[in-house]
Amino acid sequence: MKRQPAVLILKDGTTFEGYAAGYQPEGGIALGEFVFNTALSGYQEVITDPSYAGQVIAFTYPHIGNYGITPLDDEAIRPYCAGVVARDITSVPSNWRSEESLEAMLIRHQIPAIVGIDTRRLTRHLRNHGALPGAFGTADVDAVRAAALDAVGTDGTDYVSKVSTPSSYTRGEGDLHVVAFDYGIKTTMVNQLAERFRVTVVPHSTSADEIRALAPSGLFLSNGPGDPAALPHETAVIESLLGELPIFGICLGHQLLSTALGATTYKLPFGHHGSNHPVKDLATSRVEITAQNHNYAVAADSLQRAIVSHVNLNDGVIEGISAAAERCFSVQYHPEAGPGPHDARYLFDRFETLLRHGTMEVA
């Protein structure tokens, strides 16, 4: 496949040469905050994770697209990421489940990409300098550079309103009813809940009184994109429901629950994005290999009404909290693991135990 030359330029001026792939945006320039993902497989689930809204995903694994695309692996109705960077995207996928190529999916959903990039160099740069906004495309180099200088990151921006469901829907037939806030909820997350409960997924803007009117047994706070500090309404709703309902939060839901409990959040240098992050459960001393996708974290010295339940063994970041008095707990990582290992799926069972017996006993 003959590709058009393209350039990628970060806000600090660092430049990479490559070739255009995927959808070609009008004007030949795409913008976003660049982050890298270390997963060895699961590129479709990564790209369709709504938590990547506003970001350009650079895959550290050098060859993606080899097993194609199937709608069965989508984590949302469409990708919300701002773009994809890869060393190589195969043009001839081979798998019995495949229904189209990765590049065909990118074009169908209007997601721009750039290939032929030295992704090892890009990853090292982002590790050393943190996640950086920038631009890439086929436009004149000076135009791409100017766009990169004007590009902004995710700080202070509400991306949740762009990815949340516009209307409520229900899944599952369990005897317990759980209401799940959709801040950018992944399909695998809904499926894990629906295996155990009747789940009503509601928009991010749903009020506390509307939640009460649904008379749920418990409340679930989903993953989602962007800066938790940009979501004061969502935090206020959670705060008003604390103590009324058992609550389980994941990723952004963890950050919002922690904030509702009085903690603060901060932005990590380059975030955690991948399927191979070791986390220690402090209650059991068990180490789990986890899937993660977040740029923000809870500040350890800000916790007052909760205890730390899980920590990241790479850098010590808080990976989970628990507040017995308010009957709530949350984790920063992704126990549903789409993609990733299933080490932490016991947490959904822990939530069921909390709803049925009122305790958070260790499984």
- Per-residue confidence (pLDDT) for residue 361, from 0 to 100: 67
Residues 194 and 311 in one domain: yes
DSSP letter, residue 313: T
| Token representation of residue 198 | 């009747």
* Beta-sheet strand order (sheet of 318-323): 169-171, 198-203, 177-182, 218-221, 247-250, 328-331, 318-323, 307-312, 265-281, 286-298
Domain presence at residue 362: no
Say whether pLDDT at 2 is over 90: no
| Token representation of residue 282 | 């402090």
pLDDT tens per residue, range 144-180: 999 999 999 999 999 999 999 999 999 999 999 999 9
> Is 294 part of the annotated catalytic residue set?
no
State how far the alpha carbon of 26 is from the alpha carbons of 16, 111, 206, 256, in Å: 21, 12, 35, 36
Residues 117 and 208 in one domain: no
The angle at the Cα of 200, spanning 195 to 205, to the nearest 5 degrees, equals 140
Residues 141 and 73 in one domain: yes
Report the pLDDT averaged over residues 280-292.
95
Domain presence at residue 155: no
pLDDT tens per residue, range 232-278: 999 999 999 999 999 999 999 999 999 999 999 999 999 999 999 99
pLDDT tens per residue, range 202-240: 999 999 999 999 999 999 999 999 999 999 999 999 999
The angle at the Cα of 1, spanning 44 to 36, to the nearest 5 degrees, equals 35
Residues 36 and 138 in one domain: yes
The angle at the Cα of 101, spanning 69 to 39, to the nearest 5 degrees, equals 55
Which residues is 311 bridged to in the sheet?
Answer: 280, 318
Is residue 41 exposed (0-12), middle (13-18) or buried (19+ Cβ within 10 Å)?
middle
CA neighbor of 60 nearest in space, from 32, 79, 38: 38
- Domain housing 248: 160-357
The last residue of one of the domains, among 103, 129, 150, is: 150
Q: Rounded CA gap, 148 and 26, in Å?
A: 16
Residues 170 and 308 in one domain: yes
Which one from 204, 272, 273, 334 is the annotated catalytic residue?
334
Domain presence at residue 363: no
| Token representation of residue 116 | 């032929």
Residues 267, 296 contacting (CB under 8 angstroms): yes
Question: What does the H/E/C string look like for 234-252?
Answer: HHHHHHHHECCECEEEECH
Residues 17 and 101 in one domain: yes
Residues 196 and 324 in one domain: yes
Residues 18 and 166 in one domain: no
| Token representation of residue 55 | 């970001």
> Is 251 part of the annotated catalytic residue set?
yes
Which one from 45, 251, 254, 326 is the annotated catalytic residue?
251
Structurally, the chain folds into a number of domains equal to 2
> Is 336 part of the annotated catalytic residue set?
yes
Residues 96 and 245 in one domain: no
Say whether pLDDT at 312 is over 90: yes
The last residue of one of the domains, among 125, 150, 175, is: 150
| Token representation of residue 31 | 């913008």
Residues 32, 81 contacting (CB under 8 angstroms): yes
Residues 33 and 141 in one domain: yes
Say whether pLDDT at 358 is over 90: no
- Per-residue confidence (pLDDT) for residue 41, from 0 to 100: 95
Residues 127 and 199 in one domain: no
The last residue of one of the domains, among 96, 117, 150, is: 150
Strand, helix or coil for residue 76: coil
- Per-residue confidence (pLDDT) for residue 28, from 0 to 100: 96
Residues 144 and 86 in one domain: yes
Q: What's the CATH number where 22 sits?
A: 3.50.30.20
Q: What's the CATH number where 235 sits?
A: 3.40.50.880
Cα 330 versus chain centre, distance: 15
Domain presence at residue 278: yes
